[in-house]
Structure 1
Amino acid sequence: MAPKVMEHSHWHGHIEINYLFNCSAEYLINGQNVSVPQGRMLIFWASFPHQMVSTEGDGELVNIYIPLQSFLTWKLPNEFVSNLLHGGVIVSNNLHDSDVEITKTWQKDIDKNISAILYQVISEIQARVKRLAIEEYSTFNPLENGEYKANRSLVSGLSHIQTMLRFIAEHYDEKISIADVAQSTGLHQNYAMKLFNRVMHISIKQYINQLRLQHAQALLIDTDKAVLNIALEAGFGSISRFYDIFQRSFSMSPLEFRRSLGY
């Protein structure tokens, strides 16, 4: 679609990717102006207020939104992830010749709304972000700029949030409690719960279950393991709990989900 100037800043909890094909744009992200030349790709954590304030050229903008909990399971370089979680805006130094066509393919595949194809698209987006993370890129960091207008309640707790997210990502498939997550930061459990909910807009318990569900989905797609084994491997304590959470989240059972993929 053609890029559109926004009248107001907005924010949401996703990692956001913008491709600028044959057009350039000026962004205002957490109080800092970020100029992005044409033929670039930028990525940032959209929990910080942001808006596109001007554009130039007749090209196209492609937006991709990645849930943070999914993004953190991609095992990207620590410096890359930390930069984003602390308000950094990462801009690719250039695009690849295949980027225009692959984003068009992603859009066509998403429109098909076929589960197996959707998971393939996610895998390809993950691979593209991994490539960005190991290539040369430019970084804009409004949190290190004395002129930024910070969301101070968000900024002050980011190091604790990052610690909790990392702990959960490393241990969600084990028997862990909210107390374990809070202990990883040295915070009181009640404060850790409130901080996590304020920043992530989801409870610690819900977040852990989301990671476990994503793990279970991957196993249902990529393996022929029994549902009981999948439930235990993904971190669910019992098969009944796994079925209950899966059914409420996807309006189908794990077996129905597997059958819907044609397996």
Structure 2
Amino acid sequence: MIQSMTGFGKHVVQLPSKKITVELKSLNSKHLDLNARLPQAYRDKELQLRKMISESLHRGKVDFSLNVEITGEETTAEVNQGVVKKYMQQLKAIADGDDIKLLELALRMPDTLKTDGDEIDETEYQAITEALTHALKAINLFREEEGKVLEKDFNLRLKNIAKLLEEVKKLDPERLSTIREKLDRAVADLKTEVDENRFEQELMYYLEKYDITEEKVRLANHLDYFQKTLNSADSNGKKLGFIAQEIGREINTIGSKANYAPMQQVVVQMKDELEKIKEQMLNVL
């Protein structure tokens, strides 16, 4: 089953004095491009959290955000009273003003708050990893649902190309007959004696150059291989992309050898269907 690289996952954990919110958003990318936003106090845990995400998501442009909100009376920030008083003294020396106004100005100055730099306790870190685990499950479920939509579209496009290939097969005998008639008329217009045996040999050689039997067989095989890969247990967008390239190569060769307007029109339709597959392929994990 294929998965999309587009997804969203969120989970909230409520502790006695803190609310922990984890959000994950992802878009398509050739590799895993992870952007992490978390409070400064939690930066020492970033590598472990990144590892958890990379082991689960593998590919995509991923935005990870961790938000910790204080909901109780607990806080690690304190007013740096000595610094605030010093600021107020300096401000009073510059301009007159009541203490309330000076205090408001002083609190806007740098270093007026000091925070406790203690490490995150184990209970809080477990809550963060729990929230991340649930968010990863949510985003992977989102990706799977998006993948089902992509798979449905791929199946439609494959079926359309297969039908068009059948049209090519039906047109092929008529195409070769038309090419032969054109050559016969061209020789007749020369109004000169032609060695029939030699002409027949040259004609067979010429028609072999326009033979598309191998291309038809390979194209059918590639379509079947794409379908089997699409139905496999793992999502493999890169592999599907390579198969799509091979499908395109066979379609292009048929088009270049066709030399017959009705068949070339069918080839154009096949290219259109394949282009829609390639557009959607960019978003497959």
Q: TM-score, normalised by structure 2?
A: 0.20
- Structure number, greater radius of gyration: 2
The structure with the greater share of residues assigned to helix is: 2
Tell which has more relative contact order, 1 or 2 (C-alpha 8 A, sep 6+): 2
Q: TM-score, normalised by structure 1?
A: 0.21
